[in-house]
Amino acid sequence: MENKLIINILELIGGLIVLIGGGEFLVNGATNIALRLKIPPIIVGLTIVAFGTSAPELFISLHSALAGNADLAIGNVVGSNICNLGMVLGITAIIYPIKVSDTTLKFDWPVAMGSSLLLFFLTFDNMISATEGAVFFGLLLIYLFVLFRRTKSDIELQKTTNEEFQLDESEKDKSPVTLWVKDIAFLVTGIIALKFGAEWFIDGAKSICLVQLGLDERIVGILVLAIGTSLPELVTSAVAAFKKETDLALGNLMGSNIFNVLSILGITSMVIPINVSEIMHSYDMVWMLGITLLTIPLMILGRDLNRWEGLVMLSAYCFYIYTIF
């Protein structure tokens, strides 16, 4: 029994590492290919990189839904959204106060809240159908188009994006064929790693939490899968906070929540309709709406999220986790 537990823990940790690594490989390969095809860096940043960083959650939700574990699929998304604004944002603000930009207040937050409300209202029938998934994905395309127009008009942000996404100067002397083969290899390796990483991570989580600890799928999805897939955002935001560079943290987390609903649930439900349990709809989604709504008064007060407000967000998340047990 003890050996089985150790194997499951290694499977869980190994799967998460492979998932995160697969996402990095996918982003690097796809980004380089897009830049070689002369696709503007601003488009690369808003689409390929955004999709790539959401790839672990997408593969986990797809794998769970196809395996008939609906609560894992939607729990991963709902739990991740709560975790992003409760735990990740809270810890980041405690480390260093986060500035609140006009863009976040007037664009990012309304879209994040709107997509969460839409998910809540569309799941009164305890189902996300293929048609509703197509609606989510269609709204994602509209969101990306508007985001592109807004970002393109911001000259300073465009300069930053151009500096961030460019081909490696050290590879200029290599042959084009070698570079294409390398980028395609990165892309394929990333997809394969995401597939197997998702399987290992979910199998490890299910074996430990469902079988050995006796937890139900909903808690595993909301707690284990959601926190696991939010770790990259937590590490990135925490590092930025220690460097006192938190300007983009809030917008990035809001953007992640938007992608979770519109992209991950949209694509997954178009592949296979997702059943939504009553408690997931009436309790967990209400918490997702509540914690998103909570950020508004905290953001408006002083136009930043200070350490005390970060503590409020983190306390709300901890209380939520306490209640689901």
List, for residues 258-267, the tens digit of each pLDDT value.
999 999 999 9
DSSP string, 89-131: HHHHHHHS-EE--HHIIIIIHHHHHHHHHHHHHHTTTSEE-HH
Instruction: Report the CATH fold assignment for 2-165+174-324.
Output: A middle domain of Talin 1 (1.20.1420)
**What is the maximal distance between C-alpha atoms in the chain?**
60
Nearest-10 crossing angle of helices 70-83, 307-324: 160
For residue 265, the SS3 value is helix
Q: For residue 177, give Cα distances in angstroms to 172, 236, 289.
A: 12, 34, 49
b/e map of 118-138 (b: 16 or more CB within 10 Å)? Answer: bbbebbeeeebeeebbebbbe
166-181 pLDDT per residue, tens: 556 555 556 677 778 8
Residue 103 near residue 240, CB atoms below 8 Å = no
Single pTM value for the model: 0.82
179-220 pLDDT per residue, tens: 788 888 888 888 888 888 878 888 888 888 777 777 788 888
